[in-house]
A and B are shown apart, each in its own frame.
Chain A
Amino acid sequence: MKHMIRQVFRPGKFLFGFILFLALLLMTIVYPLIIKDAPLAIIGRGTFFPPGIYMNVFDSIGSPQYTLMLDDAAANRIGSKLGNAERLAMKEWLVADGIPGNEIDIANTEKLIEQWENNYDPAQSIAGMTYAKQLYYQRLNTSLQGILSIEGAIIAGNNPESGVLEESNSVAQTDYVNIREVPNVRVLPLGTDNFGRDVLTELVSALATSLKIGFVAGTVATLIGLTLGLLSGYIGGLIDDIIMFFTNIFTVIPTFVLLILISFSIGQEHRGAFTIAVVIGFTSWVWTTRAVRAQVISLRNRDHVNLSKLSGHSIAHIIVADILPYIASYVVMAFILQISSGILMEAGLSILGLGPKTTEVPTLGLMMNWAMIYQAPTLGKWWAYLPVVVTIALITFSMNLMNTGLDQVFNPALRD
């Protein structure tokens, strides 16, 4: 046993796949211990907030203020409002307004803004300009208001008695707060999704659910496949005929079609993650059955099995002690592949809109489905779909690496 384990872990492929899988598994265990938010809690009002650190504006006003004299602060401030695209757009408007192009230097911020303020008039309509473009210029104009001023901003509150605005505080351009002294800071490493949920928390929970689905589907498929294969191969006769009849039928009917039909007939209301997993398991036992049967048939007339029979051991004992050890390596490999294909099948079903119902738990397929329905790829919201795709790819990759590694150990012909 010890020798076998050492041999299994020797090829790099298996070890790498195993470590990858273990890392993903550990993440689903450790992450919920640290961050205890509900994975489906809707925290954002709005769709697809980009990844980053979200700091409460209201709290930051009340936090202790520090003055830092940084040289590039003003340049950064202007730069964030006035990128290259905006400068070109401003030039375009000014040229359309009648100012010669060679008088406009988009690199010279001060002069550009001065020209803009002197000439831009929101009410003026330029021939051939779409309404959307006009609105864009109006927004740009508003955001440029006061961009070059060195005055601070005044914070005023409503006096509850008189209803008059009263200055309570003022913020200079050189004021800073320490992010650790702001009471409410939320880190959203992967932003929020279309419903305003934290993508990372959701992703970890979805990964856990998908692994469970894969595990249940794999267990169901392997158990059915193993039992039927053993019965059919060892007992033979009528039982073999009946089992092979069903196996042959289910081999040729495409699994995915069967899966679609069954999930459809269950109906949206009754499809839980567990149900889907069991359905996937029930539709993918066929190849395990065939392979186990073939191996058992070649084993059942070996000398040690015959000896066992002569000694009067029961069928159960013969199967467990004399047959199972020989097919164990194959069954384990098939089990690993079933898990990864179960995860992929769930994802495929969910994309078709036939996945588990959407209100209870997230799964990787459902997250993908939501991102597709809300058009995250075309809107450029990569954080809603890319982490999901990468996670699925990593799981199946790690499983297949483990499988190839085991194959090399138990199937010496493939060793290089």
Chain B
Amino acid sequence: MKGYRRYFLNKALWFLVTLVCAFILNFFLPRLMPGDPVAAIVARMAQGMSNATGVQAIYQQYTELFGTNKPLLQQFFIYVNNVLHGNFGFSFSFYPRTVASVIKSSIWWTICLQFPAIIVGWLIGNTLGALAAYRKKGFDKVLMPVSIFVSNFPAFGMAVILMVVFGVGLKWFPTSGGYGFDLIPNLSWKFIWSVIVHYQLPFWSIVLIAIGMQAIGMRSMAIYELNADYVKYSRFMGIKDRKIIRYVFRNAMLPQVTGLALSIGTMVGGALVAEIIFSYPGLGYTMLNAIMGGDYPLISATTLIVTLMVLTTMFLIDIIYAFIDPRIKAAQFD
């Protein structure tokens, strides 16, 4: 058990160090941007005002409110303190909403879109990949080039093509938004149906690419395992083919499970593009708006959430793996 404790402490320390580094990068990088976003907001608010002192007063009030008049280092400590209390400050571009409320309203859209898409893509992709490795011949000859091509397809290209074919051409599904623009979110059947219809295109654009990627990974893993010595040995022993295949695919699954965990962790960052193309009201679309509006509190917060999710997943994978596969823990201390 001593080995485990040392391993976990080591991992936890790394988790903290990386988190601090990521946090610092998250705070300082967007603020290094040339130009004054507060001035841009004030210019928008003060449109048509001719009184220079009035504009000056508004500017003063906003810099006070957003805290941009203090030195950067002091701002950083105030920010750290606020974040620890769950307060990310005001959003510049969505003012008077706070960053926390903007993110709270968008993150569920992203999770509900990506989580099922990743699971479905992973299941279909792995089944196809395993079949390709086992059947070979014609199935493999057709499936492999297709999946290589599909998985190399840029995510936005897939999204655009689905949108043109099914949204603009066949008019089966709407091309943008998370629900009908004439509806207010509520629990009526009409609203739910509208959400389901709007869901389809972003969902499938993510699933298709995931299928291609998983199929390639699973195929090469399965081929590798099928050629392993234990398979030949089992054949000589006269063990039934079906049973061997069960072993083979269980072994080939292990890296694929890591892949699944990783893509769940990175999901918020993974398909920003699909959200942007379909104007889906999730985190990616919020990030786009934040970038367009020079809204660095919002950018910091969105990237921080993405980073935090990835870090946590990696940490959990490390911990769980140490139990599943003791060799990994041992390898750390060579």
Contacts and interface: CB of A to CB of B under 8 A. Distances in A.
A258 B25 contact: yes
Contacts of B224: 413-414
B35 A254 contact: no
Given A267-B34, A269-B34, A377 B160 contact: yes
B269 interface: yes
Contacts of A165: none
Contacts of A351: 156, 273, 276-277
Nearest to B334: A297
Interface stretch (B98-106, B177-185, B303-311): B303-311
Interface residues of A, number: 45
A400 B154 contact: no
Contacts of B22: 249, 252-253
Nearest to A368: B156
Interface stretch (A66-74, A179-187, A226-234, A388-396): A388-396
Contact residues of A: prevailing secondary structure: helix
Given A249-B17, A260-B303, A261-B25, A254 B157 contact: no
Contacts of B154: 344, 347-348, 389, 392-393, 396
B18 interface: yes
**Which of A248, A261, A389, A401 has the largest count of B CB atoms less than 10 A from its CB?**
A261
A254 B269 contact: yes
B302 to A, nearest CB: 9
Given A377-B168, A385-B160, A396 B152 contact: yes
Interface string B263-288: 00010010011001100000000011
Interface in A235-266: 248-249, 252-254, 256-258, 260-262, 264-266
Contacts of B17: 249
Contacts of B155: 348
A378 interface: yes
A414 B140 CA distance: 14
B323 interface: no
Given A249-B18, A252-B311, A265 B29 contact: yes
A377 B303 CA distance: 29
Given A377-B168, A380-B168, A252 B160 contact: no
11 contacts: A249-B18, A252-B311, A257-B306, A258-B25, A270-B34, A348-B154, A348-B273, A372-B160, A389-B153, A389-B154, A390-B157
Given A352-B291, A393-B149, 5 more contacts: A261-B29, A351-B273, A351-B276, A389-B153, A397-B149
Interface of A: 248-249, 252-254, 256-258, 260-262, 264-267, 269-270, 340, 344, 347-348, 351-354, 368, 372, 377-378, 380, 382, 385-386, 389-390, 392-393, 396-397, 400-401, 404, 413-414, 416
